[in-house]
């Protein structure tokens, strides 16, 4: 498990940015190079996608104020001069170390708060632009905002490098830190030189000059992220083509669409269309949607984790876990349920689907897995014998949900939450059970219904998702699905042998393994792994290259005027091959 996975729960907290920067400002208590905290923050930017930059800077500034004032209080009480002054030698050593570090541009002055008198300083520009923060003042506000903007700038410049290689990201951050420190030292030296020439001027002028030097240094730091980005960041491609392809999906047959693309250039998010018919409200970029059959990959991951723990075996017969659930269940294995090679009839084909009015008439009904499986097995098998062919069947995943509950004593949704959602920090993902609403921001979904001799779109955003159950009930976001597939393909959820089994088709020529699908019709010939889902009023696709260097997730709310499938393929081709 890598550093970013371990930190996932923290990365999703709104307190993360002020916490990190507040900690980095505790340099008198925790001797810490500020670039370490800054680059860690940068890595979070790249890993989670950068939120609103202005809010980040303000939150970071709040953390700087809180951390610096806390350090001031601790320095004056426990670790401050009263402790140090008990030993003359210790006091002289600390003072000498402080003077030594003060002469090193770009280094944090870890001892300045320990000096006799308890002086509190803020290292606004990489340890060199020192401004007092023991009380609020315009100067302290400038310093805190400057430091906050500097960290946010590191997020844009060094974030992707950190996500791919923490050591490289740290090197980028340290390099920028020293460059920033050097620049501010030059500014301070210029003002010191001028001060020596004008030392006979009144002291009031000297104070004004020092204030101007500090303000100039802070402004220099504010300018650093943009300058550093221009010098250190490779040219980013025009993302207009991705937006154009997303607009094409809406034109082809959708009310609204949203997408996220992750590649070597960072994270791009976009939306098109409207969130609700009859309004101009845009689709929320972080909107939640029903993920449909992408749920199957989550269920398969939990089942394979149980295989890894020895609680299930892929060749266990279905009858051993659910006696009597399926006629002749001893011939069907868990592997066949996972890979759609069981031959079981798909229960969804027994339901009245839109535009039949009966579908919406049952929108609030709670369906049990046993009831849906019974509808399926009332029909003959799709093929014989089990394992001889591939035929997509959601019935197998309803059964897998029940098997997970038998093996663990907990509903499969609870196991998904405990094993995947919470460890990965998937804050927009849920297994709703019988809850009818989609929590949080979301676009509305619609289905066509025959009424009065015509077809009309009916809002089906709210519905009882038990009709999909373990085969497709989950709610998620583009960000969360990208994060899930990155963790899965990166080996963080399954051992290598089981991940390899997940990507192995049950029969020759199939493009589906054990809950994981692949798409190899990209225009550049690269194979991408993931899954797609159809929840009637919502459709979603989420794929990643095997090395996770490129990922794309797109979701839409269809308007049923046309088939947006080709437009989705064009978007994915642009994401993976453009």
What are the catalytic residues? 293
**CA–CA separation, 99 vs 214, rounded Å?**
19
Q: Are 484 and 426 in contact (CB under 8 A)?
A: yes
**CA–CA separation, 312 vs 329, rounded Å?**
16
What is the largest distance, in Å, between two alpha-carbon atoms of the chain? 102
Dihedral through CA 477, CA 483, CA 485, CA 490, nearest 10?
Answer: 180
Per-position b or e across 132-164, b if 16+ CB within 10 A of its CB = bbbeeeebbebbbbbbbbbbbbbbbbbbbbbbe
Instruction: Select from 125, 120, 155 the least CA-distant residue to 142.
Output: 125
Q: Facing residues of 274 across strands?
A: 282
Instruction: Select from 143, 303, 317, 115 the least CA-distant residue to 218.
Output: 143
> How many C-alpha atoms does 293 have within 13 Å on its Cβ side?
21
- Give phi and psi for 259, each to the nearest 5: -155, 160
The string of DSSP codes covering 439-450 is -SS----EEEEE
**DSSP SS3 for 222:** helix
Contacts of 534 (CB under 8 A, 6+ apart): 292, 293, 472
Q: Are 80 and 113 in contact (CB under 8 A)?
A: yes
The CA distances from residue 271 to 254, 282, 292, 442, in Å, are 12, 8, 20, 12
Instruction: Select from 562, 558, 495, 502 the least CA-distant residue to 529.
Output: 502
- Structure tokens belonging to residue 91: 């006091």
**CA–CA separation, 22 vs 71, rounded Å?**
9
The length of the chain in residues reads 578
**CA–CA separation, 229 vs 355, rounded Å?**
53
The enclosing H or E element of 541 equals strand 539-545
Contacts of 113 (CB under 8 A, 6+ apart): 27, 28, 29, 71, 72, 75, 79, 80, 119, 120, 121
The string of DSSP codes covering 368-394 is PHHHHHHHHHTS--SSSSTTSS----T
User: Tokens 């509903």 correspond to what residue?
Assistant: 411
**CA–CA separation, 372 vs 350, rounded Å?**
9
């Amino acid at each position: 498990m890598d550093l970013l996975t371990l930190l996932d729960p923290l990365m999703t907290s709104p307190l993360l940015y002020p916490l990190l920067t507040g900690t980095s400002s505790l340099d008198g208590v925790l001797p810490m190079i500020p670039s370490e905290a800054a680059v860690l923050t940068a890595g979070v930017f790249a890993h989670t996608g950068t939120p609103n930059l202005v809010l980040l800077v303000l939150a970071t500034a709040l953390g700087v104020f809180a951390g610096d004032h806390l350090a001031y209080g601790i320095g004056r009480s426990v670790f401050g001069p009263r402790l140090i002054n008990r030993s003359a030698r210790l006091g002289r050593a600390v003072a000498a170390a402080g003077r030594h570090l003060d002469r090193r541009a770009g280094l944090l002055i870890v001892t300045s708060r320990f000096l006799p008198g308890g002086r509190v300083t803020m290292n606004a520009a990489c340890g060199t632009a020192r401004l007092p923060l023991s009380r609020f003042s315009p100067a302290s506000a400038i310093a805190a905002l400057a430091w906050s903007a500097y960290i946010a700038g590191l997020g844009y410049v060094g974030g992707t490098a950190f996500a791919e290689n923490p050591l490289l990201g740290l090197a980028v951050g340290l390099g920028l830190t020293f460059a920033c420190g050097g620049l501010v030292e030059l500014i301070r030296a210029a003002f010191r030189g001028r001060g020596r020439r004008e030392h006979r001027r009144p002291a009031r002028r000297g104070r004004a000059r020092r204030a101007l030097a500090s303000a100039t240094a802070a402004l220099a730091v504010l300018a650093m992220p943009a300058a550093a980005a221009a010098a250190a960041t490779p040219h980013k491609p025009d993302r207009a083509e991705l937006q154009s392809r997303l607009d094409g999906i809406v034109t082809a047959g959708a009310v609204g669409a949203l997408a996220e693309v992750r590649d070597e250039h960072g994270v791009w998010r976009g939306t098109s269309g409207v969130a609700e018919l009859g309004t101009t409200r845009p689709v929320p970029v972080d909107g939640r949607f029903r993920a449909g059959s992408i749920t199957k990959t989550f269920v398969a991951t939990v089942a394979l984790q149980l295989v890894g723990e020895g609680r299930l075996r892929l060749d266990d017969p279905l009858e051993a876990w659910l006696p009597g659930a399926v006629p002749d269940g001893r011939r069907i294995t868990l592997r066949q349920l996972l890979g759609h090679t069981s031959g079981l009839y798909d229960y969804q084909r027994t339901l009245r689907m839109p535009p039949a009015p009966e579908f919406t008439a049952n929108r609030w009904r709670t369906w049990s897995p046993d009831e849906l499986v019974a509808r399926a097995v009332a029909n003959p098998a799709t093929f014989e014998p089990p394992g001889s062919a591939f035929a997509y069947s959601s019935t197998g995943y309803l059964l897998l949900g029940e098997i997970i509950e038998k093996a663990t004593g907990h509903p499969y949704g609870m196991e998904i939450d405990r094993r995947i959602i919470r460890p990965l920090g998937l804050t927009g993902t849920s297994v709703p059970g019988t809850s009818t609403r989609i929590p949080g921001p979301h676009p509305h979904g619609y289905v066509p219904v025959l009424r009065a001799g015509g077809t009309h779109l009916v809002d089906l955003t709210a519905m009882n998702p038990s009709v999909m159950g373990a085969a497709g009930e989950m709610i998620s976001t583009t960000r969360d699905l990208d994060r899930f597939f990155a963790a899965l393909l990166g080996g963080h959820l399954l051992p290598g042998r089981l991940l390899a089994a997940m990507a192995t088709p049950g029969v020759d020529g199939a493009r589906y393994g054990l809950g994981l699908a692949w798409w190899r019709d990209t225009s550049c010939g690269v194979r991408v792994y993931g899954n797609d889902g159809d929840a009637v009023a919502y459709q979603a696709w989420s794929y990643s290259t095997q090395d996770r260097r490129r990922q794309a997730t797109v979701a839409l709310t269809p308007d049923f005027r046309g088939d947006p499938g080709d437009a989705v393929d064009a978007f994915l081709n642009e994401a993976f091959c453009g």
